[in-house]
Chains A and B, each alone.
Chain A
């Protein structure tokens, strides 16, 4: 299996200037890799730095030390050193991210929120909208809600819009932060099926899941992030 993501010796801390320069260590010396078609689950208690790791891979958190190498069609890129526009290009084609919570833009309909990454990736609008509808239907979001902005949706409904948005592209690397946290059992099972289908298509997945059943159903390997706890 080909390696898609290599995390090498990554360390991260926050310096809180408004708290007198207090340094909050997050993770220290993290190394792991994710290959095509496998799902890595990051484990550890809240605050261990799991979400921070995903954000560093996606490029929304800075990485202090180490390298985050992505292997893609055009070669390899170190996200930790990449220029903003390189990271944006990677997000269009290589990395998809389902954050813990949907950041809804006012006035934008759920189906447009889902279709947006595809349209930004230069897929025709019509195809993107059809694919967005298919995914929302698969995730049991009633069709009457598709044209509504998700800001007023319940947690579980927003979560499903969020998942559909992350899954719509065919990115070779998928980052999932607690994708099933606010879903009922039936919808959890659907997400498990969708994730496993992506694995079969060769997507590398890095996920955070606390639910043991979901974890057992999708994980190929578990990385315990507490092993990389930064010395406080």
Chain B
């Protein structure tokens, strides 16, 4: 069923060495449109390195990443010019950082943060940009009357939601997320997760989300990759990996979650 589709992103044998230190080794994956993949593991497992490689922010020591562009042509990221890669990152991709202040421009108003991505894809009409920014603020549950405020006056949860709006306004097909709920209060986390879940579903986004929180993976993802020591040790359907973990390390991760 549905096997005729081409993947959106394909990674083959991705390996990264930092000198003699291994980042990750021989990671391969294929991601289809509308699919959410969670990469789980502890700090130092290589999951952030993998995310940077997939998003073209880091050059691999071996292996490659191919992406099917909006014109239908699949390109090897390594062959894109820096300008092409930046354009891709600003339009067809999103990148949600754990620390929203790194993903936002803190000196620019909330509306400006959203509008900037639209201007990058050629929007010029001020009224329309402002209108789009207002509607996106509303969509991420931020009162549109706060459009002219700087995100430095926003709470942590609001900043994270603003960062999401900034990323999604250009209707990307693929969004990378690095611990999107990390560092937030639990109640704020639940609200953000619920919002992300709905947006991902409504917009049919493909997502690669890196998290150490199995509850986040359970709630958001279709598939899971478990990493340890730079290598992928187990992959599968999310409920299969969490309910019937096969590897010793995955069993340890799953059994270490405190019940509430």
A residues neighboring B (CB under 8 Å):
14-18, 55, 59-62, 74, 77, 84-90, 93, 105-108, 119-120
By a CB distance below 8 angstroms, the chain A residues around B2 are: 85-86, 89
A99 to B40, CA, bound (A): 25
Would you give the shortest CB distance from B185 to chain A, in whole angstroms?
Answer: 13
In-complex Cβ contact of A60 among B223, B237, B251 (8 A): B237
Task: Provide 7 A-B residue pairs closer than 8 Å at the C-beta atoms, listed in order of the A residue.
Answer: A18-B251, A18-B252, A55-B243, A55-B244, A86-B1, A106-B194, A107-B190
Cβ–Cβ contact B201 & A120, under 8 A: yes
State whether B246 touches A84 (Cβ < 8 A).
no
What 8 pairs between A and B have smallest CB-CB spacing? A17-B248, A60-B239, A89-B1, A106-B190, A84-B237, A107-B194, A61-B244, A84-B223
Decide: A90 and B244 in contact? CB cutoff 8 A. no
Given contacts A59-B240, A85-B223, 19 further A-B contacts (CB under 8 A): A15-B246, A18-B248, A18-B252, A60-B237, A60-B243, A62-B244, A62-B246, A84-B223, A84-B236, A84-B237, A84-B240, A85-B2, A85-B32, A85-B35, A86-B2, A88-B222, A89-B1, A106-B190, A107-B191
In the assembled complex, the Cα of A200 lies from the Cα of B183 at a distance in Å of: 52
Least CB separation from B255: chain A residue: A18
A105 to B191 CA separation, bound complex (whole angstroms): 11
A104 to chain B, nearest CB (A): 11
Query: In the bound complex, what is the Cα–Cα distance between A148 and B248 (angstroms)?
Result: 39
Q: Which residues of A contact B248 (CB under 8 A)?
A: 17-18
Asked if B84 is at the interface (CB within 8 A of a chain A CB), the reply is: no
Give the residue among B193, B236, B252, B255 with the most A Cβ atoms within 10 A: B236
B231-247 contact mask (Cβ, 8 Å, vs A): 1 or 0: 00000110110011011
B237 touches A105 (CB 8 A): no
Contact among A16, A17, A86, A105 with B247 in the assembled complex (CB-CB below 8 Å): A17
Docked CA distance A86–B5 (Å): 12
**Contact bitstring B100-112, A, C-beta under 8 A = 1, else 0:** 0000000000000
CA distance A119 to B197 in the complex (A): 14
Which residue on A lies nearest to B219, using beta carbons? A105
Give the distance to chain A from B224, nearest Cβ to Cβ, in Å. 9
Considering only CB atoms, which chain B residue lies closest to A77 in the complex?
B1
Contact for B251 among A16, A55, A105, A106, CB less than 8 A:
A16
Complex Cα gap A214–B146 (Å): 57
- Name the residue on A nearest B245 (C-beta): A17
For B255, the chain A residues whose CB sits under 8 A away are 18
- What residues of A have a CB within 8 angstroms of the CB of B223 in the complex? 84-85
Q: Which residues does chain B contribute within 8 Å of A74, judged by CB atoms?
A: 1
Q: Decide if B71 is an interface residue (CB 8 Å cutoff).
A: no
- What 0/1 readout, one digit per residue, does chain B (140-155) give for beta carbons within 8 Å of chain A? 0000000000000000
Most chain A CB neighbours (cut-off 10 Å) among B1, B35, B239: B1
Determine whether the beta carbon of A17 is less than 8 Å from that of B32.
no
Are the C-beta atoms of B251 and A17 separated by less than 8 Å? yes
A86 to chain B, nearest CB (A): 6
A107, B223: Cα distance in complex, Å: 23
B1 lies within 8 A of A90 (CB): yes
Query: In the complex, what's the smallest C-beta–C-beta distance from A98 to chain B, in angstroms?
Result: 15
Q: Which residue of B lies closest to A88 (CB)?
A: B222
Which B residues touch A86, using CB under 8 A? Answer: 1-3
Q: Which of A89, A93, A106 has the most CB of B within 10 A?
A: A106
List residues 10-26 of chain B with CB under 8 A from any CB of chain A: none
* Chain B residue nearest in CB terms to A83: B3
Residues of B within 8 A of A89 (CB): 1-2
* A118 CA / B201 CA spacing, docked (Å): 13
A99 to B119, CA, bound (A): 48
* Residues of B close to A120: CB separation below 8 A: 201
Query: Which residues of A sit under 8 angstroms from B193, Cβ to Cβ?
Result: 106
Knowing A61-B244, A77-B1, A88-B237 touch, does A105 contact B197 (C-beta < 8 A)?
Answer: yes
In angstroms, Cα B255 to Cα A89, docked, is 29
B31 to chain A, nearest CB (A): 10
